[in-house]
Amino acid sequence: MQQERPNQMQEQIQYQMQESNTNAVASAHIGRSISNIYICWAVLLLLALALSSTTVNAQQARIIPRAPDIAATSYVLMDATTGDILVESNADIPLPPASLTKIMTDYVVASELSSGNISMNDDVFISVKAWQMDGSKMFIQEGTTVRLEDLIYGMVVQSGNDASVALAEHIAGSEEAFADMMNQHAELLGLTSSYFVNAHGLPADQHVMSARDLATLSQALISRFPENYKIYSTPEFTYNGIRQPNRNSLLFQDRNVDGMKTGFTDAAGYCLVASATRDDMRLIAVVMGTASENARAIEAQKLLTYGFRFYETLELFTGNEVLASNQVWSGKSNSIDIGIQDPVFISIPRGSDDDLVTDLQINENLKAPITAGEILGQVTISLDDQIYYQGEVIALQTIERGSLIKRIMDWLTLFFMNLFS
């Protein structure tokens, strides 16, 4: 009896040790499971935070509020580099333009200067008709002569109706003939909702312009005649002892604004074309039919601020930029550079350039001879399924036809490639 107790105790100890080991193993398994669960949750949490952060950043890059409410009959906001319209309302309605007409008068004058038909130093005779003009004036005198350059400043800065008529008569012989020149230039520029009867903008039947046409015209003047456009930033001009300030109040309120022109008649209301630059972006804002001088400046400023804040001008391609090098068959060279001939600019939501998607489609099996400039495909640039640019890609070099042996070898290669494809 006494000899069995040690065995029982050993068995009990062994049992307790086994139970303890079992509990320890179980505890270890449980501990490891809990640790693994914590690790999994931690990883999932980090992934969620990362995805959330990425989503938030992506969403932030896409947030563009609707355009501000503009108290005007018609208005447009244009990217002057691309010609893209960023904001518009009633943009194609023909309306009385008042003195905004003088932008076209100035465009014709600048074109004649560029062609060498007139000179800034021309002495311009002042007719009775020019001298008697109503409305805003430069105060020129009948029977005198005035330098053509002074008349341009008098028309642009002082909005002189007398200066406008004097310039028109000097260039075309009569204001009526000059109006015909204005309409021909309008047709060449693609201004589809404009018609001119006079050079100054005082009310006349059929004398109209649209906000879109005004933006297009202003864009053309700025890009084609930059030296002439500089006049629009002149803060004041004095002629015959009479000093008059520029009527574009935004010149004195916003350092980014460097032009353009105001206008007012009872029929037109208060109108303004304003242009400004910021961060290599130029915008043109047009407002027609606002309630006051102050209102036209406020509404145009709203458009400019909105455009600069939420959009940017992107140089998509430089001139003669290589987009791809592609194989050429039967040529002296085995490859050809393909790209865009002219620089390409697009207007995009600010900060979205990294998300642009490029789709380059090149014609199959290009064969020599190929001439530089020959169309070889198409490139499409899109963002969020919206196409921002689509254009042809061309050969950037000439590839002459290869030797007879080279052509035969390439023909055989293509034959077997097509046979087993």
Active centre residues (catalytic): 99, 102, 159
CB 198 within 8 A of CB 98: no
- Only one residue has tokens 């505890």, namely 27
- The structure tokens listed for 139 are 């105060």
Among 296, 300, 340, 346, smallest CA distance to 320 is for: 340
CB proximity list for 103: less than 8 A, separation 6 or greater: 214, 217, 218, 221, 260, 261, 273
